[in-house]
Amino acid sequence: MNKSPGNIKYALIIPAYNPDSRFLSFVRQLREGGETVIVIDDGSAAESQQYFTQAENAGCTVLRHDVNAGKGKALRTGFEELTRLNGNGAGFDYAVTADCDGQHSYDAIKSVVRAAAESLSDDPDKPSIIIGGRFRDRDDIPLKSKIGNNVTRWIFKAATGMSVHDTQTGLRAVPAWLFENMLSVKGNRYEYEMNMLLSVKGWDAGYLEIPIETIYYDNNSGSHFHPFRDSLLILSQIIKFACSSIISFCLDYILFLILSRNMRFEYAYAISRCTSGVFNYFLNAKVVFGRMNARTFVKYIILWAAILAAGSLGGRLIEDALEAGKLLSKIFVDLPLFAASYFGQKYFVFRSAKKRREVAP
């Protein structure tokens, strides 16, 4: 049965590390609005405990980490709690994640909830992830927020084909059918939120980004985000994929150079490509995507065989037509095939078989 926007049931997950009085004002406003609020105290210092106690007194559920484990770990703790509650019949349709420093206004949260309710009404079985995007037509954005987001969103789009303006926003609505998936997303710190987005296509989940209002206090000085360190963490999966490709590329070319001295082009190409291909699969399946099984291996072999055939035939044709050397011919044919291999692995090998509708901003 479709649900109207007024009937959606959701809970807010708010990770907090050493919050100040803005956090308390924020959660009190949420509770006054009748919201279900789950706060995760991520190993905060003793002087911050008064705010968590007052949040509990206001009706929030407060879950505590003994030591600071990072935002990603705190979000997983929140999703674990909602998974447990739904297992006991709570019936939450969505979880809405928000930052603790008051950046996300109550109006912005309600906008995300309305979009989630519409998605639930459109597709009750598998509603979409809703992303509350910042940075649209704004002149007051803090420099470190600009740096972090501009670097990651362009690389993210190039790597995934997904058009997400704000890859680092903490305001998201995650449907209940993905709660358990959230527990397997890698990363304990800020990279968790990027890895969540990187997993969207593999889950065959729809996504929708909507613009939201964001409030910056004192040039966002309360944020614990470090532009260089945390941008590297956020991009870790993309960086690992690139490193895997480079290592496999080097292995391929070294073997080709050795073998091509005494072999025809197509034989040297096939042997070097076979060796580097198997090596590349194990690196990507184990280190990058964390999805090694018979199904992905068979799909990888299908993709690899197609690229091998195209590369072997194409290289030989280029060598004969242009009278180019073997190495130069291999470079010409491998440049387009490198892109084909990347997108083939991303969208064919390491994604679910069932195709889902994707809603882009």
Instruction: Give residue-wise pLDDT tens across range 301-310.
Output: 898 788 878 8
Q: CATH 3.90.550.10 in the chain, residues? A: 8-234
Q: Label residue 353 exposed, middle or buried (CB < 10 Å: 0-12, 13-18, 19+).
A: exposed
Q: Evaluate if residue 326 carries a pLDDT over 50.
A: yes
Give the angle 77-81-87 at the CA atoms, nearest 5°.
140
Task: Enter the pTM of the model.
Answer: 0.66
More confident residue, 269 or 9: 9
- What number is the average pLDDT over the span 172-178? 97
Q: CA–CA separation, 33 vs 252, rounded Å?
A: 60
Q: Label residue 155 exposed, middle or buried (CB < 10 Å: 0-12, 13-18, 19+).
A: middle
Residue-level pLDDT at 218: 46
Q: Evaluate if residue 58 carries a pLDDT over 80.
A: yes
Residues above pLDDT 90, as percent of the chain = 37
Q: Evaluate if residue 80 carries a pLDDT over 90.
A: yes
Q: Evaluate if residue 70 carries a pLDDT over 80.
A: yes
Q: Evaluate if residue 324 carries a pLDDT over 80.
A: no
φ and ψ at residue 95, rounded to 5 degrees: -115, 135
Q: Evaluate if residue 329 carries a pLDDT over 70.
A: no
Residue-level pLDDT at 65: 97
φ and ψ at residue 79, rounded to 5 degrees: -70, -35
Residue-level pLDDT at 354: 40
Residues above pLDDT 70, as percent of the chain = 74
Q: Which CATH architecture is the domain 8-234 placed in? A: Alpha-Beta Complex (3.90)
Q: CA–CA separation, 173 vs 269, rounded Å?
A: 48
Q: Evaluate if residue 59 carries a pLDDT over 50.
A: yes
Neighbours of 51 (CB within 10 A): 24
- What number is the average pLDDT over the span 200-221? 74
More confident residue, 51 or 103: 51
Which residue in the block uniquely carries the two structure tokens 């409030």? 215
Instruction: Give residue-wise pLDDT tens across range 105-145.
Output: 899 999 999 999 999 999 999 999 999 987 655 455 554 55
The distance in angstroms from the start CA to the end CA of the chain is 26
Instruction: Give residue-wise pLDDT tens across range 6-15.
Output: 579 999 999 9
Q: Evaluate if residue 259 carries a pLDDT over 70.
A: yes
C-beta of residue 296 within 8 angstroms of C-beta of residue 357: no
